[in-house]
Amino acid sequence: MIAFFSGRLVDFANRFIAAELVRHGVEGIVPSHGDILCALYEKDGLAISEIARRTHRTKSTVCVLAGKLEQNGYVERRPDPQDRRAIGLWLTDKGKAAKPVFKSISAALCEKVEENLSPEEALVLNSLLARVVNGWKD
């Protein structure tokens, strides 16, 4: 049952996020881009390999997602100021401007997930999900 319910939750969350992006007028972004942008909101200029590590995605997946974000003007690739051989992914003004929208959508998603839970149940759910994700080994 875990596979069924976790799959349904991902489906529900992705549809919710996609609808909220449309409602906020954000174009050229799908839910999977959120991981990349959130990593850059934490620390701008990260290398693809570091984004992959932080988001638990493969480098090739991050490259594809970053390419689409770059094409739509949310990020740009630039040499790392510390190591000119390395390339970092940097937020553009458009990418930075989207941050409040992403925070708002994230908060709304949390409210949606927790609306049928008590505050104690929400804390337990968050704790258990974090333990599963952080303990996952490929």
CATH of range 2-135; options 3.30.300.30, 1.10.10.10, 3.30.70.270, 2.60.40.10: 1.10.10.10
Residue 67 reports pLDDT greater than 90 = yes
Instruction: Provide the pLDDT for residue 93.
Output: 98
Buried b (16+ CB within 10 A) or exposed e, 108-126: ebeeebeeeeeeeebeeee
Identify the three-state secondary structure at position 46. Answer: strand
* pLDDT per position as a tens digit, 98-130: 999 999 999 999 999 999 999 999 999 999 999
Q: What percent of the chain has pLDDT over 90?
A: 86
Give the residue extent of every domain in the chain.
Answer: 2-135
